[in-house]
A and B are shown apart, each in its own frame.
Chain A
């Protein structure tokens, strides 16, 4: 137990958590945007997976940032595809989302096989360039706290920093710009923005595109920083965990960040625990993020129900 505590309260663990949180954070923010616009995006998983593969393949030929951008583009295009089928052809958003997930699970293996030259792609792994880490060694020069600061802040993916900025950007967009007002209005009561002449369909469509783009950054981070390279099903449920984080995040970007961080911590635990507790089977450790998601979801839903009641009581 002591070892666990020592590990958890170390800078290395902090760095691990930031690493595991980053892909979740982007996917959660993406899910949040489409959820607020009134479309539950269950395709975050598939979007991340396809974006991860796209980024890795592009990184063979181009610099890392082009690779990340192409992952973002892939996610955005999937968002556009969902918008097309959901909004124009009136297909249920959940079914459309699962179609994207199915396409992603099989399609990435298929594409992987093509990319690696005809091998049937069951166990291969495609190498990739990496997203650079931000080196802040100069912090060490600060007296007293310098070394700790460096250990905590240096070495994160540049995308992790982008993630922190993105939480602020999404918040600013949602609550400080007119378009954020439109988006929230469309999600809550579409008849109102429609009567005000706001193109409701377009707002939803762009939300899905943005949702895909954000999930795409998450996928790129996963394949170009957390793991360097692509393996089949490498998202292994992170998109669905992000969906849980959306529901937990109280429809607010900061809430989304905290929820993503919670799941990131447990994923981080699942990373460090095998070294500490070799008597716990690996598979059981791997279930931790999923178990935590279910429990957190139940707990938070229950609390949300109760909070609704007490808040209304206080008003009365």
Chain B
């Protein structure tokens, strides 16, 4: 992808086609589920598909989600490209959010420096939190999957404790901090909506990740390690350094997402369990975008729409928001599978027939 080639657009079209097919199949299943469970399936399904466009406010919610989904998608894309399965974005988001909040609530919070310093602190916190599983893997051979997941739980519990016991206004019993000073909250781009600095940050981050991966030698090394670690070693690339640094940089983007959460207009404070499991949905974004940073915002745009539709469906109709997890799971399963357009092989497979020329079982 670093050099233009005629095959590139074909590949983009093919991937987009696959993703769309997956979404259509997933929505069809969603429709069936809604038909089976809702008293007014028409309204529920219509809400799911159209509600995000119903007002300026809902469009703002959608774009706010897009910004956040883009950032988590980027963080996952970075580690996936290095073929690491660090699942630690959620923990990084909490750590980033915590440190952004600490800055915002400190004396710096009332100065014009509040936003940049808080963002920086969040990125550093996230980077440290991303570094830990990377180092544990490189140095001790500890599975990054397990350690990063454990760190997620630890981060959530610690942040929730700090909020409850120390950061929330004393005596109120609230499970969130007071609002940050205005200087520490992202300015709105369209007043009165959640359309704020977050989306700009997400787009800049997209460009930054793309640049890192495709225009720097670090990025090339990272991709070579991801493609073939044995080759990387032979070519003199220190793969353990790349591994750790990829997880650390991804951690910084996870931390940045934490700051976008707490400093965005949606919150403007630090609350318990603030990420609403959004951080994990970056897995889906990265898989559908094939870990290509430039594809991440587009996938986030489409998926964010669906996500917001589901939220509104949960509020306005009798179908719970969580129904969307069915759609998520199906999209991941289908996109990660090697079915090809128009999915003939896949459907034949579903019917239990062998795909036309029997491919010998690839030895792992």
What chain A residues lie within 8 Å of B161 (beta carbons)? 281-284
Taking CB atoms and an 8 Å cut-off, the chain B residues in 308-361 that contact chain A are 314, 318, 320-326, 328-330, 332-333, 336-339, 346, 349, 361
Give the number of chain B interface residues (Cβ < 8 Å): 52
Give the number of chain A interface residues (Cβ < 8 Å): 55
Contact for A191 among B147, B321, B339, B363, CB less than 8 A: B363
* Residue A98 at the chain B interface, CB threshold 8 Å: yes
Task: Verify B154–A291 contact, CB threshold 8 A.
Answer: yes
Contact for A293 among B141, B150, B349, CB less than 8 A: B150
* Residue A99 at the chain B interface, CB threshold 8 Å: yes
Instruction: State how many angstroms separate the Cβ of A279 from the closest Cβ of chain B.
Output: 11
Contact for B283 among A95, A106, A110, CB less than 8 A: A95
CA A243 – CA B150 in complex, angstroms? 11
Task: Verify A85–B150 contact, CB threshold 8 A.
Answer: no
Interface-centre pick from B143, B160, B333 (highest chain A CB count, 10 A): B333
CA A284 – CA B156 in complex, angstroms? 10
What chain B residues lie within 8 Å of A241 (beta carbons)? 150
What chain B residues lie within 8 Å of A201 (beta carbons)? 361
Task: Verify A283–B150 contact, CB threshold 8 A.
Answer: no
What chain B residues lie within 8 Å of A290 (beta carbons)? 150-151, 153-154, 157
What chain A residues lie within 8 Å of B157 (beta carbons)? 283-284, 286-287, 290
Contact for A297 among B143, B323, B338, B362, CB less than 8 A: B143
Task: Verify A240–B338 contact, CB threshold 8 A.
Answer: no
Chief secondary structure at chain A's binding surface: helix
Interface-centre pick from B318, B324, B332 (highest chain A CB count, 10 A): B332
Task: Verify B142–A283 contact, CB threshold 8 A.
Answer: no
What chain A residues lie within 8 Å of B146 (beta carbons)? 240, 243-244, 247, 293-294, 297
Task: Verify A106–B141 contact, CB threshold 8 A.
Answer: no
CA A92 – CA B85 in complex, angstroms? 11
What chain B residues lie within 8 Å of A291 (beta carbons)? 150, 154
Task: Verify A99–B147 contact, CB threshold 8 A.
Answer: no
CA A247 – CA B146 in complex, angstroms? 9
Taking CB atoms and an 8 Å cut-off, the chain A residues in 198-256 that contact chain B are 200-201, 236-237, 240-241, 243-244, 247
Task: Verify A284–B158 contact, CB threshold 8 A.
Answer: yes
* Residue B280 at the chain A interface, CB threshold 8 Å: yes
Contact for A287 among B153, B283, B333, B363, CB less than 8 A: B153
What chain B residues lie within 8 Å of A298 (beta carbons)? 136, 140, 142, 147
CA A316 – CA B321 in complex, angstroms? 62
Tally of A-B residue pairs with Cβ under 8 A? 159
Task: Verify B141–A121 contact, CB threshold 8 A.
Answer: no
What chain A residues lie within 8 Å of B200 (beta carbons)? none
Instruction: State how many angstroms separate the Cβ of A30 from the closest Cβ of chain B.
Output: 15
Task: Verify B363–A106 contact, CB threshold 8 A.
Answer: no
What chain A residues lie within 8 Å of B150 (beta carbons)? 237, 240-241, 244, 290-291, 293-294, 297
Chief secondary structure at chain B's binding surface: helix
Task: Verify A190–B140 contact, CB threshold 8 A.
Answer: no
CA A73 – CA B166 in complex, angstroms? 46
| Residue interface bits A39-82, CB-to-B below 8 A is 1, else 0 | 01010000000000000000000000000000000000000000
Contact for A96 among B139, B164, B333, CB less than 8 A: B333
| Residue interface bits B157-176, CB-to-A below 8 A is 1, else 0 | 11011001100000000000
Q: A191-B363, A286-B157, A298-B147 are in contact. Are A107 and B326 (CB under 8 A)?
A: yes
- Taking CB as reference atom, which chain B residue is nearest A189? B363
What chain B residues lie within 8 Å of A301 (beta carbons)? 136, 140-143
CA A85 – CA B333 in complex, angstroms? 7
Interface-centre pick from B146, B158, B362 (highest chain A CB count, 10 A): B146
Task: Verify A106–B325 contact, CB threshold 8 A.
Answer: yes
* Residue B37 at the chain A interface, CB threshold 8 Å: yes
Contact for A110 among B143, B145, B325, CB less than 8 A: B325
Chain A residues engaging chain B, CB cutoff 8 angstroms:
38, 40, 42, 85, 88-92, 94-96, 98-100, 102-103, 105-107, 109-110, 113-114, 118, 120-121, 190-191, 194, 200-201, 236-237, 240-241, 243-244, 247, 281-284, 286-287, 290-291, 293-294, 297-298, 301-302, 304-305
Pairs of residues from A and B, 4 with the lowest C-beta to C-beta distance, nearest first: A106-B325, A89-B337, A283-B161, A103-B329
Known: A247-B146, A294-B142, A301-B142. 5 other contacts (CB 8 A): A91-B333, A110-B323, A240-B146, A240-B150, A244-B150
